[in-house]
Amino acid sequence: MHGEYKVPGGKLVVVDVEVTDGVLRNTRVAGDFFLEPDEALDAVNHALNGAPADLDAAGLAARIDAALPEGTVMYGLTSAGVAVAVRRAVARATDWSDYDWQLIHEGPQPPALHMALDEVLTAEVAAGRRPPTLRVWEWGGPAVIIGSFQSLRNEVDPEGAERHGIEVVRRISGGGAMFVEPGNTITYSLSVPESLVQGLSFQDSYAYLDDWVLGALGDMGIRAWYQPLNDITTDQGKIAGAAQKRMVGPDGGPGAVLHHVTMAYDIDADKMLDVLRIGKEKMSDKGTRSAEKRVDPLRRQTGLPRETVIERMIDSFRARYGVSGGKVTGEELARARELARTKFTTPQWTARVP
């Protein structure tokens, strides 16, 4: 069994392992990390050999930590990262390069249709009828998108939304509210097979699926990092938030993961504060006093036009994993439009948590 895992902000860890009678055997850890002293690698392999094959990542990491020689130095590597690579090997996880990725980047569409497209396309990936897909959104109008479990009245000021002509929709993933305007926001979705995140904890899957965009930002001169659970941030402030939804496959089989990210290219903070009800608790847990200071837009940090930022993000993804141009099929679009009509524009869904 073979597993790979790139430690967030670190190096690639590769594990080859056999399972015999329910335990790990002949474990071989490799990668482009740095490790001192040399015998520490033998200690890692020895610690893993004989471990129960169903031991979780925390248990595997604890065995590694206990076996490391005193004074061991790891750079680009962690015990937890090795453990995750083992879990991915045993779970027979797939890798980004195992797929022919498809890119969808079409014209502006209404907010409710974007919600529906996420659901339809991810279901198609789960059913095996669509390859893993990177979809870059173009917004047809301003919107507030609230998380699946948020209270509508607690998050949105309806008078403010009406005053500014802002549509309010609810998405299928959890997380917090997003304030978006067509020229000020960059949003993308990844619809991927469940096997791509196999062996990862829920939290680790966020870091894993965000890693490529951190690299893209780095190429534009922005040192960004993953901030658990679902933020992408820099030393200037938060620039993006992510959310996920897991979908089961047909007949309860292997499914797919929807991972979507909204990035602040620019922001009208006054308008946002007139529409969103951002409480004191949300401010205090970010260590800031104002919503405006929580978010530091990409426009200021890059000095690049929005379209150029998007182009460079796509180029970075293509250089890493390859991606070919695609489109939403006629059947997918018809299903999404029907879903937008019957679900995402209805009060029953939008106010399902009043």
pLDDT tier at 250, thresholds 50, 70, 90: confident
- Residue ending a domain, among 90, 105, 137, is 90
Residues 29 and 114 in one domain: no
Residues 195 and 331 in one domain: yes
- Residue ending a domain, among 67, 90, 113, is 90
Predicted pLDDT at 280: 45
Give tens-digit pLDDT for 39-86.
999 999 999 999 999 999 999 999 999 999 999 999 999 999 999 999
pLDDT tier at 282, thresholds 50, 70, 90: low
Residues 35 and 150 in one domain: no
Q: Identify the helix (H) or strand (E) that includes residue 282.
A: helix 280-284
* Dihedral (Cα; 303, 306, 308, 311), 10-degree rounding: 140
Residues 102 and 166 in one domain: yes
Read off the pLDDT of each residue in 98-103 and give the average, rounded to a whole number.
96
Predicted pLDDT at 281: 44
Enclosing domain of residue 32: 2-90
Split into its structural domains, the chain has a count of 2
Q: How far is CA 103 from the centre of its chain?
A: 16
Residues 242 and 133 in one domain: yes
Residues 78 and 190 in one domain: no
**Residue 115 and residue 336: Cα distance in Å, rounded?**
9
Residue owning tokens 């949003």: 187
* Dihedral (Cα; 17, 23, 26, 27), 10-degree rounding: 50
Read off the pLDDT of each residue in 143-147 and give the average, rounded to a whole number.
97
Predicted pLDDT at 283: 47
Q: What angle do CA 324, 330, 335 make, to 5 degrees?
A: 115
- Which phi and psi (to 5°) does residue 203 adopt? -65, -45
Residues 247 and 159 in one domain: yes
**Composition of the chain by helix, strand, coil, percent to 5:** 40, 25, 35
Residue 250 vs residue 25, higher pLDDT: 25
* Cβ atoms 83, 61 nearer than 8 A: yes
- Residue ending a domain, among 58, 90, 122, is 90
Please name the residues in contact with 200: beta carbons below 8 A apart, sequence gap of 6 or more.
5, 84, 87, 88, 93, 208
Residues of the chain with pLDDT > 90: what percent? 88
Residues 149 and 284 in one domain: yes
Residues 220 and 144 in one domain: yes
Residues 143 and 80 in one domain: no
Residues 157 and 216 in one domain: yes
Residue 292 vs residue 256, higher pLDDT: 256
Beta-sheet pairing, 2-6 with 12-20? antiparallel
CATH of the domain at 8: 3.30.390.50
Write the DSSP symbol of residue 236.
T
CATH of the domain at 103: 3.30.930.10
**Residue 179 and residue 276: Cα distance in Å, rounded?**
8
Give tens-digit pLDDT for 288-297.
444 555 688 9
Residues 83 and 104 in one domain: no
Residue owning tokens 């659901």: 119
Give tens-digit pLDDT for 188-220.
999 999 999 999 988 899 999 999 999 999 999
Nearest residue to 279 (alpha-carbon basis) of 144, 151, 143, 148: 151
